[in-house]
Chain A
Amino acid sequence: MAQEHDIQNVLQAENLFCERDNRVLFKDLNFTAHRGQVIQIKGSNGSGKTTLLRILCGLNDAFRGELTWFNKPIQDHWEVVRSSLIYMGHRVGVNKVLTPYENLRWSVGLSTSVTNEQIDHALGEMGLRGFEDSQCFTLSAGQQQRVSLSRLLLNKALLWVLDEPFTTLDQEGVNLLEKLLSQHASKGGVVLVTTHHELLLPNLTVLDLG
């Protein structure tokens, strides 16, 4: 692990190729994610943004090409990758009958030990103070999204993979998330994000899937 601090290439993709239902989503896709970088993946609907993110997290293995994690083949290091990764998909991973607090207790607790105070603090930061003990089906879609985003504050992951995280957020939420993304990048983290929203961040790289 010691030498990982010196290596800047966190995640590298070479000649990625993926097709679905005989339709090529992308081919010859190359990119490198460095420390401190925010990569915005752009593309029209159905261009394979979500598929790409799921490939990069190991949720989808129907692709060809090379993926490396700190210059080592990713196939042998999924455990390390998973422990340094937060993924938020279209389905935000919030159980409707549980409270925000209980949801985070589990979803964060799967990888990191977390105290009650830390959860309370993160929910407060995300503007959910007062909702800690309401069941999530009583919350709005944006609030559920905020519950899921609270994981970003609780889990010290290196790589954030966020699929359309801005969709249901209000303006204040958008500003908050942009701040979190730039803070994470300035601390040396890596963010991969799909969004149609214009991001105004330093260190932003745009990857266009067409």
Chain B
Amino acid sequence: MNQVTPIEAFTATLTRDLLVAYKRKNDIFNPFMFFLIVCSLFPIGISPDPARLGEIASGVLWISALLASLLAMDSLYRNDFEDGSLEQLLLSPHPLYFLVLAKNMAHWLVSGLPVVIVSPLVAYMLSLPGDAYGVMFLTLLLGTPILSLLGSIGVALTVGLGSRGLILAVITLPMSVPVLIAGTLTVQEALNGASLSGYMAVLGAMFFGSLTLAPLASATALRISVS
């Protein structure tokens, strides 16, 4: 019997979480359906006029993606906390960074990626002008993992609390709003025909910044919550 490498522990955690998600199909479909429902209410509630919808389309897509991510967040550590798996995770000899990253990645693959994939279709429904499709897709592809990584910190901090209510949103939203601003601004600028390299660089920096730092914060928060 040999010790495993951190990479093997990472893979084991990733496959386990994907397996759990596969067996709890609600977890996959809830955020995704929420995203579709919210987006499809806008043409009904505001106006089916393409010109008016096109103006707000990028904002609607991004806000819905943000809320869908928030909705899915709570399930990230809660079941593991309640059944004791989280203690086993914390007692692993490997750096918690990799294990938290694996959980965040599985969570994004399950709740974020489907939203990104279906977003061009929803953008069409919201009459997003044609030039912005690629940019919108790209910003969501970069942005939703950031939302998962940042949301993970909030969930890790609150997982030990009995009644959470809105506290998760209060912790997570201030961190997520800059991402929302960067994302929607990039799409708006694409519609104005401006150069995008600066905006994409900001999103990229946010992505890599949260990829390196957020799991560390989540790991520390988990240790505090479980102790």
- Chain A positions within 8 Å of B, measured between CB atoms, are 54, 57-62, 79-80, 82-83, 85, 87, 89-98, 102, 105-107, 109-114, 135, 154-156
Which residues of B sit under 8 angstroms from A91, Cβ to Cβ? Answer: 82-84, 87
Distance, CA A135 to CA B24, complexed state (A)? 12
Contacts A83-B93, A106-B12: A95 and B1 contacting too (C-beta < 8 A)? no
Interface residue SS majority, chain A: loop
Residue of A nearest to B9 (CB): A110
Asked whether A111 lies within 8 Å of B3 as measured between CB atoms, the reply is yes
Asked whether A105 lies within 8 Å of B3 as measured between CB atoms, the reply is no
Asked whether B20 lies within 8 Å of A82 as measured between CB atoms, the reply is no
Asked whether B91 lies within 8 Å of A57 as measured between CB atoms, the reply is yes
B196 contacts A by Cβ under 8 Å: no
B206 contacts A by Cβ under 8 Å: no
Query: Which chain B residues (5-45) contact chain A, with CB distance < 8 Å?
Result: 8-9, 12-13, 15-16, 19-20, 23-24
Contact of A113 among B8, B13, B20, B94 (CB under 8 A): B8
* 5 closest A-B pairs by CB: A91-B84, A83-B93, A93-B84, A109-B12, A106-B16
Which among A62, A107, A111, A135 has the highest number of chain B CB atoms within 10 Å?
A111
Asked whether A112 lies within 8 Å of B2 as measured between CB atoms, the reply is yes
Asked whether A110 lies within 8 Å of B84 as measured between CB atoms, the reply is no
Contacts A59-B226, A110-B89, A112-B3: A92 and B12 contacting too (C-beta < 8 A)? no
Please list 26 pairs of residues, one from A and one from B, whose beta carbons are closer than 8 Å in the complex, sorted by A's number.
A59-B87, A59-B90, A60-B227, A82-B91, A83-B3, A91-B82, A91-B87, A93-B85, A93-B87, A94-B85, A95-B85, A97-B20, A97-B24, A98-B16, A105-B12, A105-B16, A106-B13, A106-B15, A110-B4, A110-B9, A110-B13, A110-B88, A110-B92, A111-B3, A112-B2, A113-B2
Distance, CA A97 to CA B13, complexed state (A)? 15
Q: How many whole Å from A57's CB to the nearest CB in chain B? A: 6
Asked whether B87 lies within 8 Å of A135 as measured between CB atoms, the reply is no
Which residues of A sit under 8 angstroms from B226, Cβ to Cβ? Answer: 59
Asked whether B23 lies within 8 Å of A97 as measured between CB atoms, the reply is yes
Query: Which chain B residues (133-163) contact chain A, with CB distance < 8 Å?
Result: none
Contact of B91 among A59, A97, A98, A114 (CB under 8 A): A59
Distance, CA A110 to CA B12, complexed state (A)? 7
Distance, CA A105 to CA B88, complexed state (A)? 13
Asked whether A95 lies within 8 Å of B79 as measured between CB atoms, the reply is yes
Q: How many whole Å from B222's CB to the nearest CB in chain A? A: 11
Asked whether A95 lies within 8 Å of B93 as measured between CB atoms, the reply is no
Asked whether B19 lies within 8 Å of A102 as measured between CB atoms, the reply is yes
Q: How many whole Å from A73's CB to the nearest CB in chain B? A: 18
